[in-house]
Amino acid sequence: MKKQYIFALLSLFFIHTSAYTQKNLNKGKALDKEYYTEIAFEYLKGKIIIPVVIEGVTYRFLLDTGAPNLITSKLKNSIKTRALKTNIVRDANNKKRTMKVVSIPRLTLGEITFKNIPNLVYELDENIIFDCFDIDGFIGSNLLRNSVLHINLDKKIIAITNKIDTIDAKFDDGIPMTLVGNQKSPYIPIQLKGHKTAKESLLFDTGMPDLYDLSIKTYKKIKPHHILNNVSSGVGTSSISLFGNANNNKHLRGFIPEFHVANMTFKNVATQTTVDNHSRVGTGLLAHGDVTLNFEGKRFYFHPKGKNTVVDVNEKLFGISTTMIKNKIAVGIVWDNTLKGKIKSGDQILSINNIDYTKIPYCNFVTKPSIFKDTDTLHIVYKNKEGLAKELTLIKE
């Protein structure tokens, strides 16, 4: 079975950039035997974007613990690299391509310089992630595998060190963290509680800005435990991965009564199934406290903001999900049975609340605050497969 590289992002729709590859990327190291640095980051729609210096030039990288290091072909052509073997890469939607792997002689994060870190090279002309977030690559878990990573969202600072006692935080016993595969992806144990309790080991993924993504594979395992409540189903796609949109699939959406991670309990967690093989905890966790990943010691720590370790995150949802098709906003999945005869997956959305969305740059859907989050009622005009314009009012329930 191929080893797995997984990294994911979520906006109005899912943007997955998982990559499944055969080659070991756990190479390279920091120049100093002992190191500590703090780096200010930009937090944009749940994405942690940090400065990375290569050959004296500062670039923008996404911090993605669910990913291996990756650079664009534009960056690769601008710096010195050493070619390694190519890989057959399968993304989260099971689309395959060959990707080059290169080693970067020197790469600096804050005051730490890493040498000879392998990087996948993304060579397609367009990609929502790189284009809309204006980034040049990913800093992944293969670079962090011998370090301690601390993330403080309130201060918008990450700390990287190889000595956990240099981190300014109070530590309990934490929970075990398993490093998986050819990039040392960080997996942690969680509990899902409904009529019964189920356990799962899943990826902690800073490339995914939601709290919890449920994989179809995991759902099938926990279905007898009746973990998912108020379940609705739909056929379509809301997933965009490294190599494009997912094929249409049947998906489920519902609420987890209780979700336990480290020393926190979240109630009524909304989640939607994905076609990936593994579930994920994302940066939605950071809204409730700081996180420390001790890669070297294989422990995961959560530092709550206050004394309250039980949070109800219940939310209302619209009866459709959206996606991007050919850089246009479109219906991804119709969840509400009362809407299924009126609007379909693939229908283009023309306007929302009298705003003409055909004239708005598509990157605004990815990087700007979502109208789907900020209001409970939407009046949409959409174009169906026959080219006819239709109108519909959506209400969160």
State yes or no: pLDDT of 95 exceeds 70: no
Angstrom distance (rounded) from CA 22 to CA 88: 7
- The percentage of the chain sitting over the pLDDT mark of 70, rounded to a whole number, equals 90
Length in residues, the chain: 397
Looking at the domain covering 175-312, what would its CATH class be? mainly beta
d(CA 397, CA 395): 6
- H helices of 156-282, where? 216-222
pLDDT digits (tens, 9 = 90+) for 357-371: 899 888 888 888 777
Predicted local confidence at residue 15, as pLDDT: 47
pTM of this structure:
0.92
Residue 92 clears pLDDT 70, i.e. is over it: no
Mean pLDDT of 323-352: 91
Check for a shared fold between 8-166 and 175-312. Answer: yes
Domain ranges, ordered by start, for the chain: 8-166, 175-312, 320-395
CA atoms lying within 13 Å on the CB side of residue 63: 27
**Into which CATH architecture does domain 320-395 fall?**
Roll (2.30)
Give the separation between CA 308 and CA 311, rounded to whole angstroms: 7
pLDDT for residue 13 is more than 60 = no
State the Cα–Cα distance between residues 8 and 19, nearest whole angstrom: 10
Give the mean pLDDT of 71-94: 85
Q: Quick check: helix, strand or coil at residue 281?
A: strand
Q: Which two tokens stand for residue 185?
A: 């992806």
State how beta strands 239-241 and 244-245 pair.
antiparallel
Query: Alpha-carbon distance 185 to 181, whole Å?
Result: 7
In the chain, the N- to C-terminal Cα span, in Å, equals: 42
What are the tens digits of pLDDT across the range 219-275? 999 999 999 999 999 998 766 656 666 666 788 999 999 999 999 999 999 999 888
The CATH topology of domain 8-166 is Cathepsin D, subunit A; domain 1 (2.40.70)
* Tokens linked to 287: 């809204």
Residue 392 has pLDDT above 80, yes or no: yes
